[in-house]
Chains A and B, each alone.
Chain A
Amino acid sequence: MPIWLQRQKYLIDFTLSSLLRRRGKNAGLLLVYTLIVFVLASVMLFTHALRNEAVHVLANAPEIVLQRMVAGRHDLVPAAYLDRIGEIRGVQKKAGRLWGYFYDPAVRANYTLMVPATEPPASGDAVIGAGIARSRGLAVGDFVTWRGSDGQPRTLRVARLLDGDSELVSSDLVLVAEDFFRGFFGIPAGQYTDLALSVRNPREVRKIAEKLALLLPDTRPILREEILRTYDAIFAWRQGIVYVLLIGAVLAFVVFAWDKASGLSAEERREIGILKAVGWETGDVIRMKFWEGAIVSLTAFLLGHLAAYVHVFFADAALFEPVLKGWAVLYPHFQLTPTIDGLQLATLFFFTVFPYTVATIVPIWRAAITDPDTVMR
């Protein structure tokens, strides 16, 4: 083994036994440090995974959704608009969509009722999301009755439950046939909630949106990329809220860690004197202290991050669920796909490991440059 490496090994050995000598103090520090990294990393991993999930979900969404606006409010779109859009080049597919919200007073939750573009259920049948099935205690073959916009009760038979994998977006979803939907909400034939347009060339999306705005001035085109940006902003905002809540805890830790790392006890000063007197260089003492800071902060970083990974991807992020997922009665149960963002990891590493390591070195430098003859006195 090269001498340089062997020296580092000796220094690390000595550092480890130094840390073990002050077991209680260092274990406490490590615990608090790990906890802070755990909380910060959990928020980072969770919001990043949610954003990722949103990107995947929206991958199959139409490039443009066209809504009709009346007096600044969303209104129904006449089917005739579809023919007028047909004149715009670049629009590959276009279809009217039927969807709406329904408040179920029995469980005090909002559902999303929708007519699927393909394979709609038979009239009187419904395909429901897992969240609704859980909250209403419904299974396939059960019947459910809701009161429509005309006050008349309408009954649906549960034909199928939606796949649990898509629960993030389908938890509150009810898929119904077109005739049921129109009857339930009182929407006449030839009217749609909005229009979905597919565009072949993604670079043409903005241009087509401009043309739509000119051709149909009472409509509002919503682009998929804008929805993605909105999701991003929402998750970033929620992440920010959690960070703000955590700021107090983080600051308390910073003060505690700074005090621990930068303060040298009389015992530690004496030890440095002894080490220098028996032949350690100032550099050896600083390197030893560097290893101490690096070992503590790296261990806390790895343990905290590992715990956060398990928490987010295997324990459903139980601690942050209410804040980060949103406020709803129908909490979706879903498994996030484990993903790690390298930049976020590096940022967290930089803001946790680096300052602590520096904080351990600075005061030791002052102590280590003193003359070693102090131990003779």
Chain B
Amino acid sequence: MIELRDVRKVFNQGRPNEFWAIRGVSLSLEANRVTVLKGPSGSGKTTLLSMIGCLARPTEGRILFEDRLLSGLPERFLTEVRRRTFGFIFQQFNLIKGLSVLENVMLPAYPLGGPRHALEAGARRLLAQFGLADKAAYRAEWLSGGEAQRTAICRALINGPQVLIADEPTANLDTALSRDFMRIVGELKAAGKTVLLTSHDPEVYDAPQVDRVIEMRDGRVVGG
């Protein structure tokens, strides 16, 4: 489904602080699987995830999604792919303060311009599915950590993406909430989604829902 061919990424190229975050990664990621990128801080997990999710472009190498080359697309098309194909759950959840939970969930769909009643109904359905129906009108900053993360999951799912990308999703959660998150990941997999996670939390990479763990170190794949 997703293929990486000798992907490299450099930051601050040509400057004294030049840094190669990814140093030649080739991978093939299967559809409808839960894959975890595991490794210590600075190993390149997040950078790799950003490139797969079309948030950034590789400096060298190619990334293909269902045989379509993504790495060379101009920004506009890249955004279009990102919007329809990938849903993101960030480490800090990144909900917009001051907006209601419902508005936060609907945000990724605004540029698509679909009918409002259908969009709102979809967002409420997702909130109900994740036990947040009564929180729809709450402001994002009033939510607990677990609620904020479930809201972020709803937002990631609003455009019906095939792939869900989560960067260190349990970094701000306690053990019970981390297990609850992995249970949700299992449900999403059962619903046909492909899930890509980065983590160095054993609650994540040792969870029964995970199909594959890819180990990274110093910008290279060292296992999995």
Contacts and interface: CB of A to CB of B under 8 A. Distances in A.
B133 to A, nearest CB: 21
Nearest to A281: B79
A10 to B, nearest CB: 4
A376 B111 contact: no
Contact of B79 (A267, A271, A279): A279
Contact of B110 (A5, A10, A20): A10
B110 A21 contact: no
Contact of B115 (A6, A17, A278, A283): A6
Interface string B187-199: 0000000000000
B113 A10 contact: yes
B90 A375 contact: yes
A6 B113 contact: yes
B98 interface: yes
Contact of A375 (B82, B94, B107, B110): B94
Given A21-B99, A277-B55, A377-B46, A7 B110 contact: yes
Interface of A: 1, 3-7, 9-11, 14, 17-18, 20-21, 267, 270-271, 273-284, 371-373, 375-377
Contact of B167 (A7, A10, A371, A376): A376
B114 interface: yes
A7 B109 CA distance: 9
Q: Which 5 A-B pairs have the closest CB atoms?
A: A279-B83, A21-B98, A7-B113, A10-B110, A3-B113
A116 to B, nearest CB: 71
5 contacts: A278-B155, A280-B108, A281-B111, A375-B94, A376-B90
Q: Among A17, A279, A376, find the residue whose CB has the most chain B CB atoms closer than 10 A.
A: A279
Interface residues of B, number: 32
Contacts of A18: 98
Interface of B: 46-47, 49-50, 55-56, 75-76, 79, 82-83, 88, 90-91, 94, 96-99, 103, 107-108, 110-116, 155, 159, 167
Nearest to A285: B111
Contacts of A14: 103, 107, 110
Nearest to A283: B76
Given A376-B90, A376-B167, A280 B55 contact: no
A373 B111 contact: no
Contact of B107 (A4, A275, A376): A275
A212 B16 CA distance: 89
Contact of B113 (A4, A274, A375): A4
Q: Among A17, A20, A376, find the residue whose CB has the most chain B CB atoms closer than 10 A.
A: A376
